[in-house]
Amino acid sequence: MDWIKMNYSRFLNVTSLGRKPSPIRVLTEIVLNSPKTLISMAGGMPNPDFFPIQDISLTLKDGSKLNIDTSLVTRAMQYSSSSGFPELINWVKDLQERVHKPPTLGITDENKKLDIIITNGSQDGICKTLEACVSAGDNVLIEVPTYAGTLAILNPLQPKILEIESDKDGIIPGSLLRYLSKWKPEDSKKPNCSIPRILYCVPNGGNPTGSQLTWERKKEIYKLCQDYDILIMEDDPYFYLQFSKPYVPSFLSMDEDGRVMRFDSFSKIISSGMRIGCLSGPRALVNKIIQHQQVSAVHSSGLSQVVLFSVLQEMGHDGFLQHCDKVADFYKRQRDACLAMANKHLSGLAEWFEPSGGMFLWLKFPQIKDTFKLISEKARAKEVLFVPGNAFMVDSSLPCQYLRSSFSLVSSEDMDKAFERLSALIKEELNQ
């Protein structure tokens, strides 16, 4: 709601607060949005007459041909807006409105109004946001276990990571409250208070757990973040890979304050090699990510953006959502096959719960003290690979009884062989 005041400078570190719009990128935006009668001798745009690519034609999986408009190809070859290809941004914004109905989309508060930047995959947006918000010594709230890529971003920033417990239903609100109860809600107004300012979570198809944060828990968590003025980083690349419908509503869908930074990805449903994701959040914070983009990657690949936009435009929003359903159905069948093989070979040796989405099965081996050497050395010698669980823990040096198994690429026959080899390995280890 417009009347809820947000002090966005509270969430930004010194580096981010010091960022200003790049004057060269500002000129580029002026040129891109000016009439053709404008004569510009200001920018450093190369002459497109010497770009060798003129036309692009795609063959889709259904055999149809998609010829990308020549004018789009011409624009894709040149420098573009740091926030992203305008048509792609609009397409994504329409999708967010249809799927999530963000309360901040149509508000009058310019700082809180929903804005979008196209990023080099969702991880690029996560990285830039953490680098904008976290300073050494800051308390940061993270659900555990968590995505290893986020830990790799965070660790060099040297925060104090507060580990929030989770289970098959995602973050446990009581665990979050136990940390926050060390402070009073009004402490968030004190400039030098150590109260956390960031909560990071993967709410659907959790990587590595396959868990799904329930609607009831989301409401509790959002209320706690309101009380203590915390920014929610909703890393949700598996949103469209939920195995049951309707979709569990997102944090973005309940964000009346403008305190959610949502990270979506096209990697899991269209192409991982395109490296296209998007960040949706309050304009005051998204602008800071755009300013970072201006001095780092400049903008996401124009060619990838135009190809993606052309494919999405061809699909339409209905076609895109139908495609997502097909992808989710495939991964659900893969999950079921994985569970069947786990039951066949690992019963009595391992513990697990049924993944609600995504592409991972999280296995615990209660009789094994630490899976690291077992998986990284001995399993490889038996020609089977998994990820040791310590990769997803804040302190990866501690013993960990878990491993992550991915069912995205493997046939049921190969899953059978993989778990058979793993079972033999575990039994050998226990009989030593």
Q: Do 12 and 152 belong together in one domain?
A: yes
Residue 132 has pLDDT above 70, yes or no: yes
* E-strand stretches of 322-412: 360-364, 387-388, 402-406
Query: Does residue 60 form part of some domain?
Result: no
The string of pLDDT tens digits covering residues 133-177 is 999 999 999 999 999 999 999 999 999 999 999 999 999 999 999
Q: Say what the pLDDT of residue 2 is.
A: 52
Report the predicted TM-score, pTM, of the whole model to 2 decimal places. 0.94
Clarify whether residues 371 and 309 are in a common domain: no
pLDDT of residue 3: 55
Instruction: Give me the helices (H) in 77-172, please.
Output: 86-99, 122-133, 148-154
Asked if residue 400 is part of any domain, the answer here is: yes
Q: What is the pLDDT of residue 309?
A: 97
Cis before 159? omega within 30: no
User: Do the domain assignments include residue 290?
Assistant: yes
- The residues pairing with 279 across neighbouring beta strands, listed in sequence order, are 117, 263
| 149 and 264 share one domain | yes
- Picking from 268, 290, 316, the residue at the C-terminal end of a domain is 316
Domain that residue 390 falls in: 324-430
Q: Per the domain annotation, does 3 fall within a domain?
A: no
151 and 227 in a common domain: yes
Asked whether residue 65 is assigned to any structural domain, the reply reads: no
How far apart are alpha carbons 173 and 188 in whole angstroms? 19
Q: Are residues 339 and 303 in the same domain?
A: no
Q: Within this chain, do residues 265 and 341 fall inside the same structural domain, yes or no? A: no
First to last CA, the chain: 63
Domain boundary, last residue among 298, 316, 334: 316
**How do residues 370-412 score in pLDDT, each as one tens digit?**
999 999 999 988 999 999 999 999 999 999 999 999 999 999 9
Same structural domain, 246 and 282: yes
- The CATH code of the domain that includes 358 is 3.90.1150.10
User: Does position 1 have pLDDT exceeding 60, yes or no?
Assistant: no
Please write the tens of the pLDDT for every residue from 48-69. Answer: 889 999 999 999 999 999 999 9
Pair (149, 212) in one structural domain? yes
Q: Given 316, 351, 373, which residue is the final one in a domain? A: 316
Query: Rounded to an integer, what distance in angstroms lies between the CA atom of residue 40 and that of residue 55?
Result: 26
Task: Say if residue 105 is in the same domain as residue 240.
Answer: yes
User: Would 256 be classed as within a structural domain?
Assistant: yes
What is the tally of structural domains in the chain? 2
Residue 49 lies in a domain: no
Q: Is residue 56 part of a domain?
A: no
Q: Residue 116 has what pLDDT?
A: 98
Model confidence pLDDT, tens digit, residues 328-376: 999 999 999 999 999 999 999 999 999 999 999 999 999 999 999 999 9
Residues forming beta bridges with residue 351, ordered by sequence position: 364
Q: Which two tokens stand for residue 306?
A: 């135009």
- Indicate if the pLDDT at residue 73 is higher than 80: yes
